[in-house]
Structure formats: C-alpha cells, structure tokens
Structure 1
C-alpha cells in the first residue's frame, strides 16, 4: 500500500529537482521563472487570435467543449487505469500514472493547436473549463481509479495551484483578446512574435528534460513505455472521439491536443503534497517522462502537418493556377479561416451536429 504505516502524510519541501536526486536549487528555480515568463508571453500572443463573437458562440452552443471534456475526464483516466493494470505496474508508480491521467489540460496544448491550425477559441476555452472542472473531477476520478491502492483521503488536491494556473491563463489571454479587439494590426505582430517564443519554449523544455534530469530515465521499462504511448493514446482517442461525434476537422485537431496534453505541473504538485519523500522521488519520475513524450509527440505531429499542408497547397496551386496561392479560403459559416484547405471543414449533417 502507498499509505504511511502511521496514517500520516509527510509533505516534501523540495522542488521537482529535489525529488529527482539533489540538483542545485538555483538552476531549476531560475529555469522555472524563465519558463513562466515565456509561457505568459505565449498565452498573451495566443489571446491575440481569439475573437469575442466566437467565444460567445462556444458559450451558447458548447458542443465542441462538451466533447473535449468527455475525452479529458472520461477517456484519459480510464486509459491510465488500463495501462497500469495491463503492464502490472507497482502500486506506487501506478498511482502516479493515474494522477497524470486525471489532471486537466495544459497550456502546451494551446501552442501545438496553433501550429496545427486548430480552433484557438475552442482550445483556450477547453483549457480554462478543464482547469475549473478539475477542482471537482480530479477528486472523483482519483477515488474511482486509485482507491484500490491508496486511501484517497491522503491525496491532496492543490486547489490553490489550480487557481493560480487558471489566473495565469485567463489574464494573459484576456489581455491578448483586448489587444486584438482594439489594435488588430498590432495583434498580428504580437502573434508572430509569440509563435517564435512558443517554439523556443518547446525547445527549452525539451533540453531541460534531457540535461537537468538525466538520472530520472533509469526506471522500469514499463514506465517508459507507458509514458511514451500515453500522450499519443490521448491525442488519438480525442481525435477519434471527435470524428465519431461528427465534429469539423479543425475541432477534431483541437480536441485531440486538449485530450493528450495534460497539466504536468499539477500532477507533480499533487505528488509532492501527498506522499513522503522516499515515495515521491519514485513517483515523480513519471510526470517528467510524460511531459517529454507529450512534447516530442506534439512536435512530430506539427512537423508532419506542416509538411502535408505545404505539399497540399503546392499541389492545389499547380492544378488551379497561381491566383490560389494568394487567396486563402474563408468559411463564412462561423468565421473560421480555412488556411487554404477547401475541404478542411467537412459538411456535417444538421440532424447530428447543430452549429
């Protein structure tokens, strides 16, 4: 069992680096400050893509949001449980995997969605809604899937950290929305700069995972396998579910990213608050592995999509003439720009989905 024999829970007082074996505190903390600033800049720039009418549209008719939340809090915890039982993971590490699956969406999903030409309005609303609903859905999911191994009363949900996460998302995005509303030309410039910062953020996170936490990769093969396939499983399950429910392709890509990209920081915080240091040092390895493969898989998907998009546009231009290269198609039904893909938004029967 994961519980202490005394029934008490010792709270570790270190950072993620401490749990992984004693790195200099100054390095991870300074890196965390840099990453936080970069993330705020990216959130601000992504807010410059959001349109108030579309936000109101999703609030009035939240079909896409509901599909995404079903994937987030329905498919991901279930997938985590099936993976841990299928690979016969020891209870201590199994709890870490399931906590990861129960977390709300992370901000990395917004960055990947942008590069996949997804629906940024839906992506940001889904991230915010999953964070809010996580206050209640996380305890419920943890009770359902972890009470076999651990007394869920000792798993502390970091409500304060979740609230801070929500604020750090809402404030920069709201500022970006205001800039787009008042100064649309300036918003375009900010968006270009933010997209570059987003790429740098992904590179910095990837390098930090490799260089700062090299010792964390010496774990059971089953944990590495689960950490590598879990994000891809989340992306795939979210996309398939959205296709089954007849969502447009742009929303399918968005829901896929929101499903597979979890908030790793919340998972790490729960582990640090809820378990003694000797157990936390083992359990906290999985969020790092998940974060690394979550980012790697997302970058591979973006690379494949961008190659496909350029090839597709070149083929259309060769077949239809040079005028198509400078004329992006616009879907006037809901105000979405089609990025040159004339079939990106497939027709949806009105009796199945009402937009």
Structure 2
C-alpha cells in the first residue's frame, strides 16, 4: 500500500520540510530532543513493568493464548469496525474519515500498561497483548485498511510505517526482557522498581502528551465533529473490549486488562503513517484527530483508574466495618480477600455477585488464619 511515485514533489516521500503547514513546523532540535526523551522514557517504563512479569505466567499466556486471542479480536476486529461506523455516522470528509480509520487499525499503545497496573490488571497479559498486537499490525493494518477503504475511491495510497512498528517492538521487547530477568533474580528489588516506574511513568506520560500537543499546536481547529468522534471512540473501545471479554468468560482481572488495551491505541504509529502517506496540505486537516484522541484516551484512562481505586477502597472499608469486634484479626485477611476477588485470578475467578459485600465475605472463607466471629 505504498504510493507509486518517483520524483514528483507531491509524493509524501519526496516532500520537503518547507511544504509542511505552519502549524506542524517545529524547531528540529526541539523535535529531536522530544523524540529521544520519549524513547528513553518508554524504555525505562517498559523495563519497570517487565519487573512485574513472571516467566511462568507469561509462558502460560503464550501456551494458552485465549486472553491474547480475545484481545486481538478487539484490537483488529472491534476497533476498525467502530472507526468505520463512526466515520459513516458522522458523515466525515473522506480525508478525516481516513485518519479515524487509521487510528482504529493501529495496535495497542504502551499507555495501557500504566493504566492496567493501577487497576490491578493482569500485567503479564497486558504486556503480551501489546507486543502481540504490534507484531500482528504488520499484516492486519494493511488488511483492515484495504477492506474498509476499497469503497472510498482514495486517490492517495497509504504507507504502512513498518520501520516505526519495528522500533516499537524493540522498545517493547528488550526493556521488558531485562525487567523479567531482574524479577527472576531479585524479586524484592523488582517490586520497588515497579512501584517507582508506575508513578514516574504516569507523570511522564502526562508530560509527553502535553508536549506533543504544544509541538503541533497549530494543527488544532474548531471542528466540533472531530472532537466528538475523538471523545466517543476510546470510550466505545473500552466498553466493547470489556463486554467481549466478559462474554467470553474471562476473569474480572482480564476483563479490565482487555478493556484498557482495546481503547488505548498507539498514537505515535498513527501520526507516523499520516506523515508518510499524505502531504502537508492534507496533514493540516488530519493531524488534529490523533492529538484529540490521545488527550481523551489519557483522560478516560485516568477516570477509569480513579473510579476503580474509589470502588476498591469502599469495598475494603465495608469489610473492615462489617464486624467491628473482629476488626483487629480480620484486617490482613480482609485485604487479601478483597484483592483475591478484585484480581479475579484463575484459581478464584469472580462472578458478578462476588463483587457485592456478601460475595466478598464468601471469598474470605478460605483464608485459614481468620477466626470465626459468629
């Protein structure tokens, strides 16, 4: 799907910097620093999350990739279809509809790993899903784009950013591999690294998002339709991913993980594909969508994390207050019982009823050192 051109100045591959719209221009040194800092930050972030990966659990996901398969179905089935339906429903211009569709066909972004950690999700599944969706994007991106754009009669061919996909894979696999090794050799130290990485990573992702918007501030326009679509799109992804995981009888922990992985797209890959495939004139009309999507994606993730943390705290407080006479002896077991239900591990998968107080109390019964207070 690469444009067939040789020396024409209209070809994106031959266009110079002077042809970019004023709003997309940035000082070369500042842009280089931003790129390098982002790459280093992402590498350190994935290293810290790699410290949460256990080889046994990770290998179990590879051997029985049911969770990964559901995630890939969400990523390259639900998201491109949602993008196409949104473009048709809102009667977007062809150039804008293509930007929305490209975003829907991109693999999962690493921001989902940060959010997964803060909602007690399955980090092994999250990292394996991000890696597998990036590998699958080599074939699924061109396939999905061909299927959904063949009726649009595009005059501009689309260029898949294979180099960008390769760089993303390197930034994922190498730091994660080092993190897995550290977790294997020094499990206590790896927990400290993971906590620090999650806090610093969340803050740096916010900084990078703001910096990216500032670097391309001239690309924003006042088109409310694009803003509405960029607001709805990640929300639909989160909800659809959660529902499909629930319908396929995944644990609550996996449902949360797949939901976040589905709604979080690789913004950098979408921007790279737009830059490779379109001229500066077209970019000015398309660039605002990935930036708006990135902003709402970050906002949605923060809201989901906040809602989960509030719910988790209330569940713990209810269990602590449930039997005042046993508060002292039940404290540790209560926290363990709540975590067992909220995590929804394979051994103690939660049902919808188990999220209620009675179900949570039932989940505490197997904890051996909790005395009966009847």
Give TM-score, length-normalised by structure 2: 0.84
Q: CA-to-partner distance for each residue in 1:132-172, whole Å, 9 max, x for gaps?
A: 11100000000011223354982111112101101100011
Query: 1:117: which partner in 2?
Result: 120
Match of 1:179 among 178, 182, 195: 182
**Residues 1:179 and 1:253: Cα distance change in structure 2 (over 3 Å):** same
Distance (whole Å) between structure 1 residues aligned to residue 226 and residue 73 of structure 2: 26
Distance (whole Å) between structure 1 residues aligned to residue 4 and residue 90 of structure 2: 25
Secondary structure at 1:262's aligned position in 2?
Answer: coil
Asked if 2 retains the 8 angstrom alpha-carbon contact of 1:104 and 1:262, the reply is yes
Query: 2:54: which partner in 1?
Result: 51
Deviation, 1:176, is 0.4
Distance (whole Å) between structure 1 residues aligned to residue 90 and residue 225 of structure 2: 6
Asked if 2 retains the 8 angstrom alpha-carbon contact of 1:20 and 1:216, the reply is yes
Distance (whole Å) between structure 2 residues aligned to residue 150 and residue 280 of structure 1: 19
Q: CA-to-partner distance for each residue in 1:271-295, whole Å, 9 max, x for gaps?
A: 1111111112221221111111111
Asked if 2 retains the 8 angstrom alpha-carbon contact of 1:227 and 1:290, the reply is yes
Distance (whole Å) between structure 1 residues aligned to residue 188 and residue 230 of structure 2: 42
Deviation, 1:68, is 0.6
**Residues 1:316 and 1:96: Cα distance change in structure 2 (over 3 Å):** same
Does residue 246 (structure 1) correspond to residue 270 (structure 2)? The answer is: no
Distance (whole Å) between structure 2 residues aligned to residue 196 and residue 267 of structure 1: 26
Distance (whole Å) between structure 2 residues aligned to residue 225 and residue 213 of structure 1: 20
Deviation, 1:210, is 5.0
Distance (whole Å) between structure 2 residues aligned to residue 127 and residue 287 of structure 1: 19
Does residue 216 (structure 1) correspond to residue 219 (structure 2)? The answer is: yes
Query: 1:135: which partner in 2?
Result: 138
Does residue 325 (structure 1) correspond to residue 328 (structure 2)? The answer is: no
Query: 1:271: which partner in 2?
Result: 274
Query: 2:108: which partner in 1?
Result: 105
Query: 1:76: which partner in 2?
Result: 79
Match of 2:92 among 70, 74, 89: 89
Distance (whole Å) between structure 1 residues aligned to residue 216 and residue 232 of structure 2: 20
Structure 1 residues not aligned, in runs of 5+? 331-337, 349-355
Does residue 346 (structure 1) correspond to residue 350 (structure 2)? The answer is: yes
Q: CA-to-partner distance for each residue in 1:204-236, whole Å, 9 max, x for gaps?
A: 034325544443331411111001111111011
Distance (whole Å) between structure 2 residues aligned to residue 105 and residue 322 of structure 1: 44
Give TM-score, length-normalised by structure 1: 0.88
Larger Rg, first or second structure (1 or 2): 2
**Residues 1:234 and 1:84: Cα distance change in structure 2 (over 3 Å):** same
Query: 2:371: which partner in 1?
Result: none
Deviation, 1:7, is 11
Q: CA-to-partner distance for each residue in 1:166-225, whole Å, 9 max, x for gaps?
A: 110001111000000000011011112101211212320343255444433314111110
Asked if 2 retains the 8 angstrom alpha-carbon contact of 1:238 and 1:260, the reply is yes
**Residues 1:189 and 1:343: Cα distance change in structure 2 (over 3 Å):** closer
**Residues 1:10 and 1:194: Cα distance change in structure 2 (over 3 Å):** same
Q: CA-to-partner distance for each residue in 1:237-256, whole Å, 9 max, x for gaps?
A: 10011111111000000000
* Matched length: 338
Q: CA-to-partner distance for each residue in 1:244-269, whole Å, 9 max, x for gaps?
A: 11110000000001111011111111
**Residues 1:343 and 1:165: Cα distance change in structure 2 (over 3 Å):** closer
Does residue 289 (structure 1) correspond to residue 286 (structure 2)? The answer is: no
Secondary structure at 1:118's aligned position in 2?
Answer: coil
Does residue 36 (structure 1) correspond to residue 39 (structure 2)? The answer is: yes
Deviation, 1:18, is 6.6
Query: 2:11: which partner in 1?
Result: 9
Asked if 2 retains the 8 angstrom alpha-carbon contact of 1:18 and 1:25, the reply is no
